[in-house]
Structures are given as C-alpha cells and as structure tokens.
Amino acid sequence: MARDAPVLVRQEIEVRGLVQGVGFRPFVYRLAQELGLGGDVQNHSQGARVAVEGAATAIARFARRLVAELPAPGRIDSLHATDAPPRGERTFTIAASEVCDGEVALVLPDLALCDDCRRELLDPADRRHHYPFLNCTHCGPRFTIVRNVPYDRVNTTMAGFSLCPDCAREYADPADRRFHAQPNACPECGPRATVIGGDGEPIAAAAALLRAGKTVAVKGLGGYHLACDAGDEAAVARLRERKHREARPLAVMVGSLDQARELGHVSSAEAALLTSPAAPIVLLARRPDAPLAPSLAPGVTTVGVMLAYTPLHVLLLEAFGGPLVMTSGNLTNEPIAHLDDDAAARLGAIADAFLVHDRPIERRCDDSVVAVRRSAPLPLRRSRGYAPAPVQVAAKPAGPVVLAVGGHQKNAFCLLRGDQAFLSHHVGDLENDRALAAFETGIADFERLFDLRPALLAHDEHPDYLATGYALRRAEREGLPLVAVQHHHAHIASCLADNGLDEPVIGVAYDGTGLGPDGTIWGGEILVADRASYRRAGWLRPFRLAGGEAAVKQGWRVALALAQAAGVPPPSWPEVDAPRREFVTEMLAREVRCYRTTSAGRLFDGFSALLGLRAESHYEGEGAVALEGACDEREPGALPFALAETPDGLVMDWTPAVAEALAGGTAGELAMRFHRGLARVTAEACRAVADATGLDRVALSGGCLVNRVLFELLADSLDAVGLRVLRHRQVPPNDGGLALGQAVAARARAEDESYVFGRADAGDGGR
Ligand code: ZN
Ligand code: ZN
Ligand code: FE
C-alpha cells in the first residue's frame, strides 16, 4: 500500500457494442475486483454503463484492459468516459438492468457450444454430463430465445424455468463462467428433451431410429431440422420425396472436424469457419470417396457440412456415430418450422419420429451457408450465428432510419440506423402466403426488438415482387417516402457497403434476373455506380426467354434462342420431344411471348443445355450449377467472346462462343472454356470502362458470383488487366444481400437534396 492515500477519482463509462449476453458484466466485475476499484456495471437497452472509483492509475489500467481483454465474441464499438465526483464506493456491484429510450442495444446471434461446455457435456463426473441444454456466457442460444431487450432471463424463453440452488449459485458467483448466463440450466431445473415415436432415453432412441433408416424431425436452435442417415441412399431418397425436394443439395452435420475431413477437403480457412462460434454450413469440395448417399447432392462437386453446434446435436451425433443429413424442417419453398404445433402439423407426414424439447423458440433462424473464396469467407446465406449482429456500413451516423424490403428470392430485409445495418436472418423465397407472413412478422419483430421506426422505405423496382407490394402498402398507410432501387444497382451498392466504401466503382452484376429501367430483364451488367446512383456501361448481348418463367427451368429454351442468334443448328435433347421443340422454335421465330434479357444466370443455363448437361432444371440455377460442376479445370483455353462498342455502351457478345461450342469438344473442356471466355471479356470490358472513367476498382456481385469457377477466373482476369477486386465478405452476393444495398442506396439519396422521393405508384430509374 502506498504511504500517501491515493487521489480518489470516479469515471462513468458508456460502452456500445456487442456487450450483452457475452459475459461482459462478469468480466467487468472481475477486472474491477482485481484492480481494487469500487463502482458498478449495468446493462441497459443501449449497451452497458460502467462506473469505477479508485486510484487514477488503477482506473487508467482498467480502461486499457477493458478493451484489450474483452473475451470473444464480445466487441466494443465505442467507449465514452466522463469524470464524476467520487462517492466513496469501495465495493463493486452488478446493478439491475435498466430500460431506456433512444438507441438500440445489440442482440447477439446464437453461439455454438464452447470448448469448456463441451468438456463438461462429455465428462461423466460433471453434473451436466450428457445434458443437452448446457451453456455459459460464451455460448448458447441468444437471438432465438430473446423476447425483449435488455437481455435478461425474464426477457427470454427461459423465463419459465426457475434456477435450482446450484444453478442460482453459479449465476450469482462473479468468479463463475455462468455468472449472469441468462439461459443457464442443468438437468435439475432446465429444459428437457423427449422423443415422440420412439422409446427410452430420447437421444439414444432417436439415434436408433436414424440407424434404422428413419427420418427424425429434430427441434434445434432456430427451428426444426429433418435428419436421416447421410450414407443411406434409401433414407435420403425417401426424405427428398416426402419433402418434395428433388435435386437441391442437402446439408450434412458431423460431430467433429475429422469427420468433416472424411467428406470434403478442408483448408485452414474452412476449418476456422467450421469451428467458429457461428458454426455455419461450409461448402467443401467433396471427396470422391466420401461415404455419402448419391442422391444427397446430385450433379455437384461440393458438399455442405456443418459441425454439431448445440449440445443436443453433439450428443445425437455421438450416439449415431456418422454424418447426418440435417435439412431445414419444411416443405420446399416454405419457411422453416419453429413452433411445436406447426412443426407437428407440417412435418408429421415427412418425419417418422420427433426429437423435441420444451424450450420455446422465439423466432426462426435457418442455418447459414458460407463458402471460402480466395481464402476469405463468402456468405451464401447469412442467418444463424450472424444475424442480427449489425454490418458496419460507414454511413453518416445521422440520417433517417431506412427499412429495405429486399427481393423476391432468398429474401432478407434490412433496417439501417446510423452506420449500423441490421440485416435480417434468411426469410426465403416470397412465393407463398406462409413466406409472406414470415416476412411481415419478421419486420414487425425487428422493429420492436431494436425499437426502430423506419422513416424511409426502399424496395426493388420490380412492381410485382411481394416485398415491393408490402413497401407500397406500408408507405401509403404510414405516409412514408419510398425509394425504388434498381436490382443490380442494389447488388453493387451492397458490395460497396459490405466493404465500408462510399465512392464510385465499376460494378459487375452477374445475376439471375432483375428488372431494368428499360423494361427488359437485366442480369449481365457492368455499371458505373456509387451508393446513390448508377449508369449502365456494358451488358451481355441480349437474348430471348421464350415463355418467360418457363425458360427459367427449361434451359433448352434458352439454348434454342442462343443457337438461333449465333446462326448455328441447335442440338437435340432426349427429354424434349419434337412438338415442344417446334412450339418453342416457332415462338422464337415469331417473337411471341419472348422476353429480352441480358441475364448471366440464364446464359449459364442456356450453355448448360447446349452442352447437354441440363436441359431442364428442378430449381432456378440448377443448369448453371451443373455447368460449373462439369468444368475440367486443367483445360487452359477460352471460348471466344466479342466486345463491341456501341453508342450506348459496351456489348459482350457470346455468339462466337456458341458457334465454337457446337463445333465439338467434351462438355468438361467446353464448360471450362465458357467460364474463362466470359471472365476474360468481362475483364476486357471493365478495363475499357476504367480507361474511360479513371476508376480502378471493380465490385463483384449478383447471384452468379456464388459460382466458384467464375468468381476465381473473374478475379484473376481483373488482376491481369490491373484492376482491383472488391468482393463480398459479410453479406451474400445473391439476393440475400440485396436489402443492404437498397438501404444504403436509399440513405445516400436521402442525403442528396436534389433527389425527389417516389410515391406509392412511381418507380425511378438511375441517373
Ligand atoms: Zn459455454
Ligand atoms: Zn439447475
Ligand atoms: Fe439478384
């Protein structure tokens, strides 16, 4: 002890960031104890407030260590310290939470089981041995159990379980890992698992059913999964049939990283993702000898793998012993079931048994899907483990709160407040009433949870999207201004926001379909864009979709149009009989119900059919997936594409490629040469735009960027012509990231005083 009494000072510190539900208060408590400081720490709906009192040197050390030693996954976004008159406090306490108006508290995503909890789970001597709902301040459910902020037990779906004396002691002990762990539970006092349609210990019973080839609906974190033996062809085929899901790949769950390595090649970046607290499905290059049923992922060279991320899953995988199909519990195109009654009703005809528990799921949240590209994560679906953590978008802190409603497929909506974009969990394709209801409920839920009222609505220019309809109705009802954002501009704006940039770039939007301001279907665009506006600088040579929607799943219709445009005779397909073929040939010749498009996605489908890979698809993009999967990557050549300069912009002409592809070669070689040719002509066009504008950065976005071969060849080709690549890292390049782009575009226009907002009946094009 110092001989002179130290000068006592008091500091009050406002902390913003991910500080609720991550053990922040216990961490602060222990730190203050260690440094001999008095005061308190309190959660409130904006973040946390810390008051510390003691020697000035100790307080300075406290502030430094607060930032330096904060345990993952916590995150401090800002600290604001003010001096206050000392009160003579010698002890440090954790004060009750306080609700206050104004800003938003961050709600954490759900976190995968941590290593400490895993050890306890598997330790026969631990009181939580084999208890499927253990968790601590570093892991467990968050977003899917929160009913209200602040994040306290009474505001979660754990409110109905009262802590037993042992759990209560842990909860109250600042030295314990479960100090203030809101979902803390044990076999005495917490949720329980049960099996419906089986006998005995629930997890062992479910594992036995799975071994017998049965389908089991498993209630997890953000909803129900449908599980079956991933190595059992009959079981997988039956699940597909019952779920009405014919071809889309099914995800697999394994118990360990070693098991994942038996299914696919795992790089260090992929291993890091698999074992991260988010624990997403990671797309791996499938091993040829992987012990997986053939119908698990037909026609693709990848497999989507995730590690067991809750204790229930860990125990189930341990009891079963091998990889399990874990696909969302729904019928194709419907939202994942998360409420017990609904699950029983909708999944009853699919599942032979149910493995369930009595902890309610407050809101649905599907598994996330991530791929690794150029050693960095590329999200394909951003949901569980990521949502609702905000994306920092480097916008002005002030400005209207924007609600962006997203697109028609892979919908996610976005609330933008200040520089934080709250992109929602995956809502799905808005193609039926159930999906639309999930979308509307989701928006109302986010607005309540984050206490946000939009002052501006952003939507796609397509008038028929259900999401657009919602925005228009709401604008009229609440008298809110509207901003219509062109689909591909939104993709590029999303990529800018993902990278925290707000300056003009060249944007390559290679996508399925989106409405252009000229009334045609865009999707193969090169834009010059910033967040507020865009100009179209180049595009793929347009072609015709005979019958519109019908051509999306019948790539042969596109192939006929491509061959006709190239002036070469098209191939024939066994699945297309002469009358259908003649009918479509006639439609194209007479231009009846033919829609002009520049869509890269449809061009991929057409090429897939031209090469005899997929004439018809079960889902949008299956033809493109098959074309990617067919690539013989040793093939160094490229199909010829022509670049034409017109008064309006650059046209990338694929007709020479079509003619050469039909002249002969293997499908594997031609698929690879198609990808390379398209990448090269795109880079050449970008180089020309760069020379004309002085811009040297190229943002890559749109659904086609999910294609690994295209992504890598495009990035390499842009490198080769001296341009810098901007790519997605936090949000998907497909329509799952669209709302982020809509939100920042709308905000940027709101900051432009000359911009005239739309009414509920008017769209607006680019400038
Ligand atoms: Zn834990
Ligand atoms: Zn207990
Ligand atoms: Fe799109």
25-42 tens-digit pLDDT? 888 998 999 999 999 998
Nearest to 736 by CA among 403, 428, 483: 428
Helix (H, G, I), strand (E, B) or coil at 534: strand
How far does the centroid of ligand 1 lie from the alpha carbon of residue 199, in Å? 30
Measured in Å, residue 386 CA sits from the centre of ligand 3 at 21
Cβ atoms < 10 Å from Cβ of 2: 7
**Cα(427)–Cα(418) distance, integer angstroms:** 24
The three-state secondary structure class of 756 is: coil
Q: How many whole angstroms from 181 Cα to the centroid of ligand 1?
A: 9
For residue range 128-159, what is the model confidence (pLDDT) as tens digits? Answer: 999 999 999 889 999 999 998 888 899 999 99
Closest of 437, 393, 227 to residue 746, by C-alpha: 393
Cα separation, 194 vs 549, in Å, equals 45
> Is 756 or 276 the better-scoring residue by pLDDT?
276
Reference 94, options 176, 203, 2; nearest CA is 176
Reply yes or no on whether the pLDDT at 762 is more than 50.
Answer: no
Nearest ligand, CA 524:
3
Point out the least confidently predicted range of 242-246, 272-276, 429-433.
242-246
What's the gap in Å between 169 CA and the centre of ligand 2?
Answer: 9
Residue 707 C-alpha to ligand 1 middle, in angstroms? 36
Which range, 103-117, 322-336, 517-531, has the best average confidence (pLDDT)? 517-531
DSSP string, 216-228: EEEE-SSSEEEEE
For residue 72, the model assigns a pLDDT of: 73
Question: Using 50, 70 and 90 to split pLDDT, how confident is the model at 766?
Answer: very low
CB distance 455 to 732 below 8 Å: no
- Determine how many CB atoms are found less than 10 A away from the CB of residue 392: 14
pLDDT level of residue 102 (50, 70, 90 thresholds):
very low
DSSP-assigned beta bridge partners for residue 642: 653
Weakest mean pLDDT among 257-271, 424-438, 701-715: 424-438
Q: Which residues contact 547 (CB under 8 A, 6 or more apart)?
A: 554, 557, 584, 587, 593, 594
* CA separation for the pair 257, 111 (Å, rounded): 17
Report the separation in Å between the CA atom of 123 and the middle of ligand 1, taken as the mean of its atom positions. 14
* Closest-CA residue to 395 (of 414, 415, 421): 421
Confidence tier at 477 by pLDDT (50, 70, 90): very high
Residue 85 has pLDDT above 90, yes or no: yes
Q: Give pLDDT, residue 108.
A: 86
Residue type, 681: V
**How high is the pLDDT of residue 98?**
62
At 490-509, the pLDDT tens digits run 999 999 999 999 999 999 99
**What's the whole-number mean pLDDT along residues 570-590?**
95
* 100 closest CA partner among 43, 53, 138, 50: 43
Rounded CA-CA distance 158/360 in Å is 8
DSSP string, 374-386: TTEEEEEE--TTT
- Of all ligands present, the nearest one to the C-alpha of 599 is 3
| Residue 164 CA to ligand 2 centre (angstroms) | 4
> How many angstroms does the Cα of residue 159 sit away from the middle of ligand 2?
13
Task: Give the chain's radius of gyration (CA, Å).
Answer: 28
| Secondary element (H or E) of residue 34 | helix 24-34
pLDDT of residue 1: 46
Residue 364 and residue 412: Cα distance in Å, rounded? 13
C-alpha dihedral sign at 522, 528, 530, 532: negative
Using the predicted structure, report yes or no on whether residue 14 has a pLDDT greater than 60: yes
pLDDT of residue 97: 67
Task: Return the ligand number nearest the Cα of 115.
Answer: 1
Least confident span in 237-246, 328-337, 648-657, 733-742:
328-337
pLDDT higher than 60, residue 708: yes
Q: Can you say whether the dihedral through the CA atoms of 18, 493, 403, 412 is positive or negative?
A: negative
Measured from the alpha carbon of residue 277, the closest ligand is: 1
Ligand 1 centroid, distance to 407 Cα (angstroms): 37
Residues 6+ apart with CB under 8 A from 589: 564
Per-residue DSSP letter, 425: P
- Whether the CB-CB separation of 732 and 383 falls below 8 Å is answered with no
| 739: enclosing H helix or E strand | helix 738-750
pLDDT(288) > 60? yes
DSSP alpha helices (H): ranges in 520-651?
549-553, 555-566, 578-590, 600-610, 622-630
User: What's the pLDDT at 99?
Assistant: 52
Max Cα distance, the chain (Å):
102
User: Is the pLDDT confidence value at 246 over 80?
Assistant: no
Ligand nearest to the CA of 311: 1
Confidence check: pLDDT of 280 > 50: yes
Ligand lying nearest the CA atom of residue 139? 1
Q: Which of 100-104, 189-193, 582-586, 664-668 has the lowest mean pLDDT?
A: 100-104
Q: Is the pLDDT of residue 687 over 70?
A: yes
pLDDT at 548: 86
Helices H / strands E in the chain, number of each: 22, 31
pLDDT at 765: 38
What whole-number distance in Å separates Cα of residue 407 and Cα of residue 459?
Answer: 8
Q: Which residues are CB-contacts of 4 (< 8 A; sequence separation ≥ 6)? A: none
Placement of tokens 């090269």 in the chain: 680
Residue 1: count other Cβ atoms within 10 Å of its Cβ: 5
Beta bridge partners of 539: 525, 651
CA of 569 to the centre of ligand 1 (A): 63
Among the bound ligands, name the one nearest to the CA of residue 127. 2
Q: Which ligand neighbours the alpha carbon of 177 most closely? A: 1
Mean pLDDT of 712-727: 98
Phi, psi at 762, each rounded to 5°: -125, 140
Among all ligands shown, which has an atom nearest to the Cα of 113?
Answer: 1
Number of other residues whose CB lies within 10 A of the CB of residue 585? 16
| Residue 612 CA, ligand 2 centroid: distance in Å | 61
Q: Determine the distance separating the centroid of ligand 1 and the alpha carbon of 118, expressed in angstroms.
A: 7
The CA 190 to ligand 2 mean position distance, Å, reads 6
CA of 513 to the centre of ligand 3 (A): 6
Bond into 379 cis (ω within 30): no
The pair of three-digit structure tokens given for residue 470, joined into one six-digit string: 């919602």
Q: How far is CA 368 from the centre of its chain?
A: 5
Query: What's the CA-to-centroid distance between 322 and ligand 3, angstroms?
Result: 37
Give the distance (Å) from ligand 2 centre to CA of residue 522: 58
- Please tell me the distance from the alpha carbon of residue 354 to that of residue 216, in angstroms, as a whole number: 5
Read off the DSSP letter of residue 361.
P
Q: Relative to the alpha carbon of 187, which ligand is closest?
A: 2
Between CA 284 and CA 161 the distance in angstroms is 40
Ligand 2 centre to CA of 186 (Å) is 4
Q: What are the beta bridge partners of residue 370? A: 282, 379
Give helix 487-498 / helix 738-750 axis angle, nearest 10°: 90
| pLDDT tens digits for range 175-188 | 788 988 899 999 99
The token pair that represents 680 in the structure block? 């090269």
Q: Is the dihedral of CA 344, 304, 193, 166 positive or negative?
A: negative
| Shortest-distance ligand to the CA of residue 136 | 1
Instruction: Report which bound ligand comes closest to the CA of 190.
Output: 2
- Residue 693, pLDDT > 70, answer yes
Residue 302 has what pLDDT?
95
How far is ligand 2, taken at its centre, from the CA of residue 162, in Å? 8
Nearest to 731 by CA among 407, 399, 369: 369
The mean pLDDT of the chain is: 93
Say yes or no to pLDDT of 394 above 90: no
Say how many Å lie between the CA of residue 643 and the centre of ligand 3: 24
Distance 142 CA to ligand 2 centre (A): 19
Identify the residue whose tokens are 């070693």. 258
When mean pLDDT is compared across 20-24, 163-167, 191-195, the lowest value belongs to 20-24
Q: Per-residue pLDDT tens for 664-682? A: 899 999 999 999 999 999 9
Beta bridge partners of 651: 539, 644
Model confidence at 212, in pLDDT bands (50, 70, 90)? very high
Q: Which ligand is nearest to the CA of 600?
A: 3
Q: Which residues contact 123 (CB under 8 A, 6 or more apart)?
A: 129
Strand order in the sheet with 75-84: 75-84, 8-18, 47-55, 38-44, 92-94
* pLDDT (0 to 100) of residue 491: 98
- In this prediction, residue 626 carries a pLDDT of 94
The whole-number pLDDT of residue 549 equals: 86
In this structure, the strands spanning 650-653 and 534-540 are parallel
Q: Ligand 1 centroid to 112 CA: how many Å?
A: 8
Q: How far is the CA of 758 from the centre of ligand 1 (A)?
A: 49
